[in-house]
């Protein structure tokens, strides 16, 4: 969230400014697991702005809250209306958004909606990743508050070692995911982990839909880091950052130039969808 004192957020039916409830925003339950959340992304478009796959995200948030008995008095449609109003009040178009339901120490449920400025999509990130063993320890189908703590710490450690981010490996030795969902390319076929090893990201589903549209073969299966290192190319995808190309894994460089890869084709198609440019696939 911005440090700007004029920045608005939505809390329990009220529009408040950042400096009005600092203690609420620093509540320990916001980071210790007593809640669920969804991250969304807004893009500046030619006409105005769009929120990427907002309906899917908010339907999942409502379903998640219901599954663990967290009260939420808003429908997906109402949440979307509130989000557009939040962006309007803060004069934001390129933005990351977080919708959070959390419980306080009195077991009272709260709903918090925040947004902050986000950069434009970067076509050439050239990320350098390292692998790291990781035990998920949380239900894969739910975005629980606190589940990102381990990945944040691992990312900081990786940066100290000269990498940009981390790709997690589960106890069976298979690639899990990092701060995004991995896809790798070999012989003009894409591979990604099966959902039993992944959080069911909306962004991942979007890539699978685009693969069908572009007639790109994509196989969902378990694979090891060594199989990834033998790939021609790789990228990963998340709601906030879209598609980001990966240059290397554990210092092993991928063979393909990004501009020649299937991932780059998907980046351009994903970008057109995010920016509401039609048709979505023109090359």
Q: Supply the DSSP string of 81-97, one letter for each residue.
A: HHHHHHHHHTT-SSEEE
Domain at 20, CATH number: 3.30.470.10
- Please check the confidence at residue 140 and state whether its pLDDT lies above 70: no
Answer yes or no: are the C-beta atoms of 43 and 50 closer than 8 Å. yes
Residues 27-31: what's their mean pLDDT? 50
The DSSP secondary structure of 96-163, one letter per residue, reads EEEEEEEE-TTS-EEEEEEEEE-PPPPS---EEEEEEE----S-TT--BTTTTHHHHHHHHHHHHTT-
Assess whether 25 and 93 both reside in one domain.
Answer: yes
Assess whether 154 and 246 both reside in one domain.
Answer: yes
Q: Which of 99, 117, 135 is the last residue of a domain?
A: 117
Assess whether 61 and 139 both reside in one domain.
Answer: no
Residue in the structure block whose two tokens are 């981390």: 166
Domain at 182, CATH number: 3.20.10.10
- With bands split at pLDDT 50, 70 and 90, how would you rate the model's confidence at 23? very low
Assess whether 46 and 17 both reside in one domain.
Answer: yes
In a domain, 1, yes or no: no
Assess whether 152 and 43 both reside in one domain.
Answer: no
User: How many CA atoms does the CB half-sphere of 281 hold within 13 Å?
Assistant: 13
Cα–Cα distance, 87 to 76 (Å, whole number): 17
- Looking at the chain, the whole-number percentage of residues with pLDDT higher than 90 is 64
Assess whether 111 and 133 both reside in one domain.
Answer: no
- With bands split at pLDDT 50, 70 and 90, how would you rate the model's confidence at 155? confident
Determine the straight-line distance between the first and last CA of the chain, rounded to whole angstroms. Answer: 37
CA quadruple 139, 95, 248, 262: dihedral sign = positive
Assess whether 104 and 134 both reside in one domain.
Answer: no
Number of domains in the chain: 2
Residues 6+ apart with CB under 8 A from 227: 184, 191
Assess whether 74 and 162 both reside in one domain.
Answer: no
How does pLDDT run across 204-248, given as a tens digit for each residue?
Answer: 999 999 999 999 999 999 999 999 999 999 999 999 999 999 999
Q: Which two tokens stand for residue 235?
A: 């990228």
In a domain, 81, yes or no: yes
CA distances from residue 124 to 165, 204, 268 in whole angstroms, order as listed: 15, 19, 12
Cα–Cα distance, 282 to 26 (Å, whole number): 46
In a domain, 48, yes or no: yes
Cα–Cα distance, 37 to 238 (Å, whole number): 15
How does pLDDT run across 83-139, given as a tens digit for each residue?
Answer: 999 999 999 999 999 999 998 888 888 999 999 999 888 899 999 999 988 755 444
């Amino acid at each position: 969230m911005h440090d700007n004192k004029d920045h608005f957020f939505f809390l329990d039916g009220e529009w408040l400014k950042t400096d009005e409830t600092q203690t609420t925003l620093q509540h320990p339950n916001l980071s210790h697991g007593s809640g669920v959340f969804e991250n969304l992304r807004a893009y500046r478009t030619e006409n105005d702005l769009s929120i990427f796959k907002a309906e899917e995200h908010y339907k999942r948030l409502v379903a998640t809250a219901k599954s663990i008995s967290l009260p939420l008095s808003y429908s997906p449609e109402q949440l979307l209306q509130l989000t557009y109003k939040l962006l309007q009040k803060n004069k934001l178009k390129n933005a990351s958004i977080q919708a959070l339901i959390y419980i306080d120490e009195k077991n009272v449920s709260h709903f918090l909606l925040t947004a902050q400025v986000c950069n434009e999509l970067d076509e050439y990130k050239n990320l350098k990743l390292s692998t790291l063993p990781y035990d998920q320890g949380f239900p894969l189908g739910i975005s629980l508050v606190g589940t990102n703590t381990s990945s944040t710490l691992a990312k900081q450690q990786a940066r100290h070692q000269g990498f940009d981010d981390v790709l997690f490996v589960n106890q069976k030795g298979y690639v899990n995911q990092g701060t995004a969902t991995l896809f790798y390319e070999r012989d003009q076929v894409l591979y990604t982990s099966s959902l039993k090893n992944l959080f069911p990201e909306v962004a991942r589903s979007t890539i699978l839909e685009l693969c069908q549209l572009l007639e790109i073969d994509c196989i969902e299966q378990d694979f090891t880091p060594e199989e990834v290192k033998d790939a021609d190319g790789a990228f990963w995808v998340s709601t906030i950052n879209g598609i980001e190309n990966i240059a290397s894994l554990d210092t092993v460089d991928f063979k393909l130039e990004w501009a020649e890869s299937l991932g780059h084709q998907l980046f351009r198609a994903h970008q057109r969808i995010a920016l509401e440019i039609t048709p979505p696939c023109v090359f």
